[in-house]
Amino acid sequence: MACVLTVGDINIDIVALLDQYPPKGGDALAKRGELHIGGSAANTALVLARFGLEVSLLGRVGSGILADYALQGLRKAGVELSLVQRDPEVPIGVMFIAVTPDGERTMFGFRGANTRLKPVRLGEGELGKLRWVHISGYALLEEPQRTAALRILETARQKGITVSLDVGMCTAIHAREEVRKLLPQVDVLFPNLEEARLLSQKEEADEALKALVERGVKLIALKLGEKGCMIGDGEKAFTVPAFAIDAVDTTGAGDSFNAGFILGQLWGLNLPESALLGNALGGLACTVVGAGESLPTPQKVVALLQGALASPTWEPWKGGLNHLLEILKGGTKR
């Protein structure tokens, strides 16, 4: 078994770049269209694998050509797929993503086979190397996928394995109370600001973070987009700035941030350095169209960090940036 298991959706994303989003009932022609692997759990797994971690993915896809395309790309990236189920009746999830010139994406689609994920029990052999379980909040929306995710969470807690949860906007809206109940079982929570507001009923980032910690979650990595991220554990909270990038498409940015932070923690980095790596990966995800195979590589991160070191703005973070560069240049498997 891999050292990281991600649980959640595997999708195909159909991305369209628009000059402007059309009004209701209107038309819009894309100036560019692309097909990508998608799904929060799949994206995070793919990035982790690219950085040398042994990562397995628990999800469900259909049996058609689009499912084959997604699995081929994940396998090529190094993701272990023995826990991926094939559904003979329902196709792979498909998301339609409209991206406007400011880089912001509007997403809608059909989750398909994802929701039909059957619960599994991991054997002792599979649990032996497992150090981290990362769950996408979308896995909590429908049965039987919800039970599958909760069973893995329960097993991880019993074995003392670190558990992280990426909230997801739909989950924050439609499964808010369930997420709140789960917080004491979560080691690391990955919300964006709007999700944190919905879960905490607090408007300001620091107040939302504090309120969620008080509900029992051990550590929060709050994603703030162009403002970076805020990290808090109940005793302290601090903000780590974002890297300057030219945003093309924000699809997959949050999933890439998750991967960066998880990488940092598994590599033994401190919280600021893990947050720096998360911000680097999240920022780079915004510089390309689509998620999946477009998401950041170690080489891209090295170039971004080297550029930051040349800027006086990053002088206070010089030690952390140099440490990250040392690790990345020395090889990412740890």
Cis peptide before 119 (omega within 30 of 0): no
Residues in the chain: 334
pLDDT tens digit string along 289-321? Answer: 999 999 999 999 999 999 999 999 999 999 999
Q: CA separation (Å) from 142 to 21, 113, 177, 178, 317?
A: 30, 11, 14, 12, 42
Annotated active-site residue 255? The verdict is: yes
Using DSSP's 3-state secondary structure scheme, residue 239 falls into: strand
pLDDT for residue 333: 53
Residue 26 lies in a domain: no
Spell out, as residue ranges, where the chain has pLDDT lower than 50: 1
pLDDT for residue 332: 56
Residue 334 lies in a domain: no
Domain containing residue 48: CATH number: 3.40.1190.20
Residue 64 lies in a domain: yes
As given in the structure block, the two tokens for residue 176 are 């808010």
Residue 25 lies in a domain: no
pLDDT for residue 127: 87
- Residue 137 is given by DSSP the state G
Up-side HSE of residue 196: CA atoms within 13 Å toward CB?
27
**pTM, full prediction:** 0.95
Residue 24 lies in a domain: no
Pairing of the two strands 60-61 and 11-17: unpaired
Residue 210 lies in a domain: yes
Number of domains in the chain: 1
Instruction: Give the structural domain span for 100.
Output: 4-18+32-329
Angle subtended at Cα 316 by Cα 310 and Cα 321, rounded to the nearest 5 degrees: 60
